């Protein structure tokens, strides 16, 4: 997927939100954090970083790569958070052992009136 993204760039093909989401899902682990940040910069340049679905993918990617501060910063920038937004940030914190922070986010989600689902509790 990353090679195809690079090829698109070389050929001048403009990526869209689906392209960015596909590339971001391949970024897993600390070794992918720099690539994820580069893709994030491309989403900003393309003007799609403000879309909830792209923001959620960025939060998820940062969480999977161990960039919790980046994940939280991106989460805080999502203006219209949905259940997926909350689930990915809660998962990021809980998967890295920050259960207290994850629980606090869960309480904040409830205060914001977002209804949890089974994925929320799996996290």
Cβ within 8 Å of residue 93, ≥6 positions away = 63, 68, 99, 101, 102, 105
Mean confidence (pLDDT) of the chain:
93
Q: What is the per-residue pLDDT for 99?
A: 94
Q: What is the per-residue pLDDT for 121?
A: 83
0.85 exceeded by pTM: yes
Q: Does residue 11 have a pLDDT over 80?
A: yes
Neighbouring C-beta atoms of residue 14, cutoff 10 Å: 8
């Amino acid at each position: 997927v990353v090679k195809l993204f690079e090829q698109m760039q070389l050929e001048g093909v403009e990526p869209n939100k689906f392209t960015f989401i596909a590339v971001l899902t391949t970024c897993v682990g600390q070794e992918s954090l720099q690539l994820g940040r580069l893709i994030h910069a491309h989403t900003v340049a393309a003007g799609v970083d403000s879309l909830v679905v792209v923001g959620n993918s960025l939060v998820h990617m940062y969480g999977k790569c161990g960039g919790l501060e980046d994940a939280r910063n991106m989460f805080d920038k999502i203006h219209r958070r949905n259940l997926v937004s909350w689930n990915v940030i809660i998962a990021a914190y809980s998967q890295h052992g920050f259960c207290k922070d994850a629980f606090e986010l869960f309480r904040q989600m409830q205060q914001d009136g977002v209804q949890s689902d089974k994925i929320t509790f799996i996290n």
